[in-house]
Structure 1
Amino acid sequence: MDARTNERADKPRPAQRPEQLPADKQHGAGERPKDAGGKPPPSLRERLREHWLLATVAACVLLIAAIGGLAYWLAIRNFESTDDAYVAARSFSIAPKVGGYVTEVPVSDNQHVKAGDLLVRIDDRDYKIALDQAQAQVAVAEANIGNVQAQIDSQHQQVDQAKAQVDQAEAQLKFAEQEESRAKDLVDKGAGTVQREQQTHSDLLGQQANTARTKAALVAAELGVKTLEAQLASARASLQQAQAQLDQARLNLQYTQLTAAQSGRVVKLSGAVGTFATSGQSLMMFVPDEVWVVANYKETQLRDMRPGQQVELRIDAYPGRKLTGRVDSVQPGSGTAFSLLPAENATGNFVKVVQRVPVKIVIDDWPADLPIGPGMSVVPWVRVR
């Protein structure tokens, strides 16, 4: 080696700074990193000891959250809920049974009415005239019955008179037979004349003819009674027909006033004074006060659901109001099974879909201060356990 190499080897090396050393050589084994002041940072235990109040509060909050979550899960598992639920009612249209001009509409849109309240009045003048005509026809039919009945009574008198004439003719016939027999005996004995015998025989023939005539008159009188009785039956049938027309005229007159069959609300009012309403034309819709909730639950939620179970409900329109009710019934079949075009799973490719089954829920007490009607969304919670 030359002198330059020895000089470089004998020259001491400068000390390295700590940041230039490797991480495993900056501190001794088992030593913690130090901060800028040369002190190691505090451990987790030391930090917890330093902030014990905050740590205690955090632990309590976590414990309360865990207990609350467990309690909520234990409570919610006893309920079945669905957001596919709505208010339902048997709404129907109000339509007149007879036609005519509307003369009065004493109700307005969304008005609540009671059973028997007038909804629409139709011009009834034509129907009053028809009622008067029907009453006149009834009076005519009753008069015809009285006339035929009087004729029958008179005919009975004629029958009695004919019977008396028959009795008289039979008595005269018997006397003529006796006279003819006596005259014939006298002729046979030679004590009487042939002329006398011929005269009594002629009288006998006359009485026989008279008796036959009176009997025929009696038969005719009796047949006359039967004829009049048939006319009486016809007159009574005419009376019944006239009475039926009278009843129909009265009904038509009553049909000119459309009244509420039950309490409820008037909606979609289209009838107005002056319009011509035909028979069956809808003038308004009517929503009865009796409404309920139809909840379409999944079929997998019906395992423990039974009629009579308690229900809690909230209406989307009034989230701050909670209602209570009970399960009234569960439809024996899915909703699609009773639709207009039910699904046919036997055709095409089959994909299993969880079906929904309508459940009818009745409410204990609907709030009177809230307008609730069909179609409003509801969220029910049925307690099944």
Structure 2
Amino acid sequence: MKLSRLLSTLFAVAVGLAGVALVLYAWRLPPFATSIETTEDAYVRGQVTVISPQLAGTVVEVPVQDYESVAEGQLIARIDDRIFSQRLAQARATLAGQRAQLANSQQGRRSAEAKVKASEAAIASAQSAFDTSEANYARIAPLASKGFVPGSDLDVATRTRDQAAAALDQAKAALEVSRQDLQTVIVARQSLEAGVEGAEAAVRLAEIDLANTRILAPKSGRLGEIGVKLGQFVQAGTQLTSLVPSTVWVVANFKETQLPGMTVGQPVHFTVDALAARTLTGRIERFAPATGSEFAVLRPDNATGNFTKVAQRLPVRIAIDPGQPGASELVPGMSVVVRLDTAADAAPPAVAGN
């Protein structure tokens, strides 16, 4: 009887110790504390680019297929360019007209400058005639006052002088008119030059629109599902397909309680579910500037009467070491399990992702 009670007591103590040990192990408390941190909240990420047109039109060519590999600059789709070609021709014709008007303005300026020189020459001639008539009047006036010449000669000299003075004033006025005409041509030329610049800009815009009828791959990668069909009318911004470049990385969401000891450059091991749990390596590249809850559309409001502390998760970007088997098979969205030793020495990341 005593032996049975002793065995029962020992069994209960063993069960209690096992329970305590299980709790300590689950919470990684001494003596089961470890520097190894793991998380299943991790995924492969990549630069998925949505391919969209910049103008509206009817699709007349789609030379690619779903999930096809493409090179940078390869044609993905083409929009009917007849209207845009005519707009470019119209813009070029307008530019030619503006340049012709500018050239004609240059000829008009030369003509106006010649008129100014002619007016200046007319002033010189009128000035010479006035000086001559003035000198003649100065000789005749004293003689007429003494009666040595008839009064009619004095009248003729006076009229001649007055006519020469009027002709000189007229020549000066004509010179001012010529100068104003020249200034008008110069000001008009500035307007024509602005018109030429505007026409050149219109040509460039038409060339850009024509080039945008060809939707090209911005970089090398693999396409997603092709969402556009031949003959479909598309608008600017319509999603045609997606492009996934070959550069990928891993984002692991660690709890804030797992972050102590983690530094940039520490080695990381991770397994990929889609690769039969194959283990690959990488290094911590950088930490997110805030936890995932801060980037959520509906952020939590803890200023309420009831509050329960919940460990937040911080995204950690992991660069994948190049050249290892299976790395080329990783695609964005794959689930991975990340494992790292926070006590490991840090080193510069092996790969610098974008």
Settle same-fold status: TM greater than 0.5: yes
Contact 2:270 2:339 in 1 (8 A): yes
Match of residue 190 from structure 1: 147
Match of residue 137 from structure 1: 94
User: Distance between the aligned counterparts of 1:259 and 1:143, measured in 2?
Assistant: 37
Match of residue 4 from structure 2: none
Match of residue 105 from structure 1: 62
Kindly indicate whether residue 164 of structure 2 is the aligned counterpart of residue 212 of structure 1: no
Aligned residue for 1:317, secondary structure, equals: helix
Match of residue 269 from structure 2: 312
Match of residue 375 from structure 1: 333
Match of residue 112 from structure 2: 155
- Cα 1:233–1:336 change in 2 (3 A) is same
1:234-285 per-position Cα deviation (integer Å, ceiling 9, x unaligned): 1111111111110011001100111111112211311111111111111112
Match of residue 114 from structure 1: 71
Kindly indicate whether residue 321 of structure 2 is the aligned counterpart of residue 364 of structure 1: yes
Match of residue 235 from structure 1: 192
Shift of residue 367, structure 1, vs aligned partner = 5.4
- Cα 1:319–1:141 change in 2 (3 A) is same
Match of residue 179 from structure 2: 222
Letter aligned with residue 228 of structure 1: V
User: Distance between the aligned counterparts of 1:309 and 1:374, measured in 2?
Assistant: 23
Contact 2:137 2:158 in 1 (8 A): yes
User: Distance between the aligned counterparts of 2:34 and 2:226, measured in 1?
Assistant: 46
Aligned residue for 2:276, secondary structure, equals: strand
User: Distance between the aligned counterparts of 2:33 and 2:118, measured in 1?
Assistant: 102
Letter aligned with residue 332 of structure 2: P
Match of residue 48 from structure 1: none
- Percent identity (aligned): 35
Shift of residue 332, structure 1, vs aligned partner = 2.3
Match of residue 338 from structure 1: 295
Letter aligned with residue 310 of structure 2: V
Q: What does residue range 22-171 of structure 1 map to in structure 2 within 5 Å?
A: 77-171=34-128
Letter aligned with residue 251 of structure 1: I
User: Distance between the aligned counterparts of 2:327 and 2:290, measured in 1?
Assistant: 36
Kindly indicate whether residue 252 of structure 2 is the aligned counterpart of residue 295 of structure 1: yes
Q: TM-score, normalised on structure 1?
A: 0.78
Identify which range, 352-361 or 79-88, moves more after superposition. 79-88
User: Distance between the aligned counterparts of 2:260 and 2:283, measured in 1?
Assistant: 17
User: Distance between the aligned counterparts of 1:367 and 1:188, measured in 2?
Assistant: 127
Match of residue 255 from structure 1: 212
Contact 2:91 2:199 in 1 (8 A): yes
1:25-79 per-position Cα deviation (integer Å, ceiling 9, x unaligned): xxxxxxxxxxxxxxxxxxxxxxxxxxxxxxxxxxxxxxxxxxxxxxxx9999343
User: Distance between the aligned counterparts of 1:348 and 1:233, measured in 2?
Assistant: 72
Letter aligned with residue 252 of structure 1: D
Letter aligned with residue 256 of structure 1: T
Letter aligned with residue 172 of structure 1: A
User: Distance between the aligned counterparts of 1:370 and 1:110, measured in 2?
Assistant: 16
Match of residue 36 from structure 1: none
Contact 2:75 2:216 in 1 (8 A): yes
Match of residue 54 from structure 1: none
User: Distance between the aligned counterparts of 1:182 and 1:382, measured in 2?
Assistant: 120
User: Distance between the aligned counterparts of 1:75 and 1:176, measured in 2?
Assistant: 127
Aligned residue for 1:241, secondary structure, equals: helix
Shift of residue 347, structure 1, vs aligned partner = 2.8
Shift of residue 360, structure 1, vs aligned partner = 0.6
Letter aligned with residue 381 of structure 1: R
User: Distance between the aligned counterparts of 2:188 and 2:289, measured in 1?
Assistant: 61
Letter aligned with residue 105 of structure 2: V
Identify which range, 241-250 or 311-320, moves more after superposition. 311-320
Shift of residue 306, structure 1, vs aligned partner = 0.7
- Cα 1:177–1:113 change in 2 (3 A) is same
Letter aligned with residue 179 of structure 1: N
Kindly indicate whether residue 129 of structure 2 is the aligned counterpart of residue 172 of structure 1: yes
Q: TM-score, normalised on structure 2?
A: 0.84
Match of residue 25 from structure 2: none
Q: Which has the larger radius of gyration?
A: 1
Match of residue 276 from structure 1: 233
User: Distance between the aligned counterparts of 1:78 and 1:114, measured in 2?
Assistant: 44
User: Distance between the aligned counterparts of 1:348 and 1:340, measured in 2?
Assistant: 23
Letter aligned with residue 62 of structure 2: V
